[in-house]
Amino acid sequence: MKSNESLIYVIFGASGDLTKRKLVPALYSLFVQNLLPDNFALLGTSRSVFSDEEFRVSMKAAITEFKEIDDISRIDDFVKKIFYQPIKFDDASTYIALKARIQELRKQYNICHNTIFYLSTPPSLYGVIPQHLASVNLNKQTNGWKRLIIEKPFGYDLESALKLKDQLMQDWKEEQLFRIDHYLGKETVQNLLVARFSNGIFEPLWNRNFIHHVEITSAESIGVEKRGNYYDGSGALRDMVQNHLLQVVGLTAMEPPTSLESDSIRHEILKVFQSFRPIKCEEVKDVAVRGQYMSSKIKGKQVPGYREEEGVNPNSNTETYAALKFYIDNWRWGGVPFYIRTGKKLPTRVTEVVIHFRPTPHFLFANESTVQSENQLVIRIQPDEGILLKFGMKTPGAGFEVQTVNMDFHYSDLTAQRIPSAYERLINDAIKGDSTLFARTEEVIEAWKFLMPVLECWKNDKDVPLYGYPAGTWGPEQAQQMFDEPDTTWRSPCKNLTNDGNYCEL
């Protein structure tokens, strides 16, 4: 639905990669679908000095290269709405100039006071910029709303997250804050809600009586690419688990919300986070495994190890793989282990939630069949979005040999329609003021609280190993030992192993 209100969209960090690759292509895509207001201006701002025209040229090139929609016939109309204003992020006087520019654009293009400020800057500026905006009253909602969209990470640990929360809350209200977790903008992450709450058959089984364990994997085949500098100060737990993976856990484990209102859904996710059983430092070595990829051959080509990557300390102890086992102490999930893992340079790119159901109480076919069928529901978030149900069927012929078969639904079969990117969806939601798919302050704080013992133990306890794993493999073998039963393992999402080793594609 088109927003009828006019709007100025200000991007801080406009000369950066995210603006080029994601933000401006997503805005262009909304523009082509007539989802932006007619009176709209995009004001880029960063330390670099560009004229409006220079910035337009670079944004036009970015849209052409990273476009999310095939139609680029309206690109010239769109770039006419783009402007640029250099800024010194920590210099109060440049915010006066920024405000004057915003006022000039409002007047010139008949735009009301509705304004979005998108922070796509280094996280160290997340406290500073909003404070400066408030000092020139750009947070005041008197003649139109003002919203702040913030990229992750929201803090580096619990202490810094609490500090950031206090800084933001001094001048901004929770309803003005939109913390982007792009996993929540993924179509199939939202589909988790539909799969669970629009089907009568799953929900009655969705609890400790029928579920043996839950497994969530977010694997990437890429390494740290050009982001070594940032990543080396972060690691897999901060980069992926604290936000993306825990949000997926929240949606998988939450109670049915009372409505689709944003507060109702976010409240249920928060309750899940509040029910995480705290991990004690002495348990960390048994319930958390960390690893770092080492040089190896992938598809016949030697690839560098993490410590050889650009921007990475050659003695770095930053983890590129993290696996955790934990419990949610509530009535629905009491005693059900959750296993989550993420890593870079794994054999393939895949994100999936696997619900492992309990086996039948008595396996009638034990004499005829060597394996008991496993009932699993696999919710594939990416790529090849879909749902797969595994169950036992009789192998044709004499006897009762059981084999596990798949009932497989691919999201692509549902529609030939383009699925909007996560950024497109989330930017559109922020314009409409719908915060359902954005992380709330309390969720962020609870997520940090839960992970702090692991982070601290990994930092301080020299006896907790950091395992190496060859790039292109499924991470440290020690992650297999996290399971309660010795014959339980992580699901291997690859269909085919290629013949030159263990690197595979879906």
Q: So which residues are the catalytic ones?
A: 244
* H helix or E strand, kind and range, residue 142: none
Cβ–Cβ under 8 Å, residues 210 and 358: yes
- Token digits for 323? 């696996």
Residue whose CB is less far from ligand BG6, 247 or 473: 247
When binding is defined by CB under 6 A, the residue of 68, 171, 215, 220 that contacts ligand BG6 is 220
Question: How big is the chain, counted in residues?
Answer: 506
Residue whose CB is less far from ligand BG6, 18 or 464: 18
Torsion of CA 280, 152, 241, 453, to 10 degrees: -10
Residue whose CB is less far from ligand BG6, 146 or 344: 344
Q: For 248-266, give the DSSP string.
A: HHHHHHPPPPSSSSHHHHH
CB of 151 to ligand BG6, least distance (A): 9
Window 342 to 371, contacts with ligand BG6 (CB under 6 A): 351
Per the listing, tokens 């690893």 go with 291
- CB atoms under 10 Å from CB of 430, counted, come to 20
Residue whose CB is less far from ligand BG6, 60 or 152: 152
**Is residue 239 close enough to count as binding ligand BG6 by CB under 6 A?**
yes
Window 29 to 68, contacts with ligand BG6 (CB under 6 A): none
Residue whose CB is less far from ligand BG6, 296 or 351: 351
* H helix or E strand, kind and range, residue 506: none
Q: Which residues contact 370 (CB under 8 A, 6 or more apart)?
A: none
Cβ–Cβ under 8 Å, residues 494 and 221: no
CB of 198 to ligand BG6, least distance (A): 25
CB of 407 to ligand BG6, least distance (A): 26
**3-class SS of residue 166:** helix
Residues of the chain by 3-state class (helix, strand, coil), percent to 5: 35, 20, 40
CA distance 185 to 20: 19
* Amino acid at residue number 150: I
Residue whose CB is less far from ligand BG6, 6 or 292: 292
* H helix or E strand, kind and range, residue 490: none
Query: In terms of Cα–Cα distance, which of 396, 26, 45 is closest to 185?
Result: 26
Residue whose CB is less far from ligand BG6, 85 or 351: 351
Residue nearest to ligand BG6 (CB): 239
Query: In terms of Cα–Cα distance, which of 91, 244, 218 is closest to 153?
Result: 244
Cβ-count burial of 91 within 10 angstroms (0-12 exposed, 13-18 middle, 19+ buried)? exposed
CA distance 333 to 109: 54
- Residues that contact ligand BG6, how many (by CB under 6 A): 3
- Token digits for 339? 């296993």
Alpha-helical runs (H) found in 278-343: 284-287
Query: In terms of Cα–Cα distance, which of 49, 59, 112 is closest to 81?
Result: 59
Residue whose CB is less far from ligand BG6, 220 or 309: 220
CA distance 396 to 382: 34
Residues in contact with ligand BG6 by CB under 6 A are 220, 239, 351
